[in-house]
Amino acid sequence: MTAKPTVPLIVVHRFTASAERVFDAWFDPERARKFLFATPTGRIVRCEIDARVGGAFVITDQRDGQDIEHVGRFLEIDRPRRLSFTFSVPAYDADADPEATPVIIDIRPLDDGGCELTLTHHVWAEYLDQSRGGWALILEGLEAKAL
C-alpha cells in the first residue's frame, strides 16, 4: 500500500494551566474522554489509553447511532514537553495507512505559569480545513472541560 502524501497542519493554543497538567490530560482516560475526539452531538462510549511508547489508544465517539473509533499508537512521550502519536479514524481511512498521519504535540511553559501547546498533524490535503477546525475544538475542549 502506498501512503498518500500529507501536508503539515499547525494549531497553537495557550493555556493558563501548567505544562504538566496539560500534558497529563492526554493520558488520563477520565479527562481525555471529555475533550479528545468528542463531538457536540456525540458521546464518548470508550476511552482506552495505554500510556507508553508503543502503547495504543482507542477512543470511540457514538454519533448518530454509529460508533466512530479514533485510534493511534504513541511514538514519543517526553513529559511535559513532547508527545507524538499516529492517528487514524478507520471508518473514514479504510484505505489509508494509520502511520501516514503523525501528530506531534510540543508544550512550552510560559513565565506566567501557563503553557503554549503547538500541535502539528500531517494530514491529507483534502482534510486540511476539517482537521484544523477539529483540532482547534479539541484544544478548546481540553481547556474548558479537562483542566
Tell me the domains of the chain and their CATH numbers. 7-145 (3.30.530.20)
Q: How far, in Å, CA of 131 to CA of 142, rounded?
A: 16
pLDDT tens for each residue of 61-81: 998 889 999 999 999 999 999
Question: How high is the pLDDT of residue 105?
Answer: 98
Q: 95 pLDDT exceeds 70?
A: no
Confidence (pTM):
0.91
In which element (H, E) is residue 59 found?
strand 56-63
User: What pLDDT is recorded for position 1?
Assistant: 46
- Rounded Cα distance between 88 and 83, Å, is 16
Edge-first strand order for the sheet with 102-109 is 7-15, 115-123, 102-109, 82-86, 66-78, 56-63, 43-49
Partner residues linked to 70 by β-bridges: 59
Tell me the per-residue pLDDT of 18-64, one tens digit each, with 9 for 90 and over: 999 999 999 999 999 999 998 888 899 999 999 999 999 999 999 88
Q: Which residue is listed with cell 482506552? A: 48
pLDDT band at 3 (very low <50, low <70, confident <90, very high): low
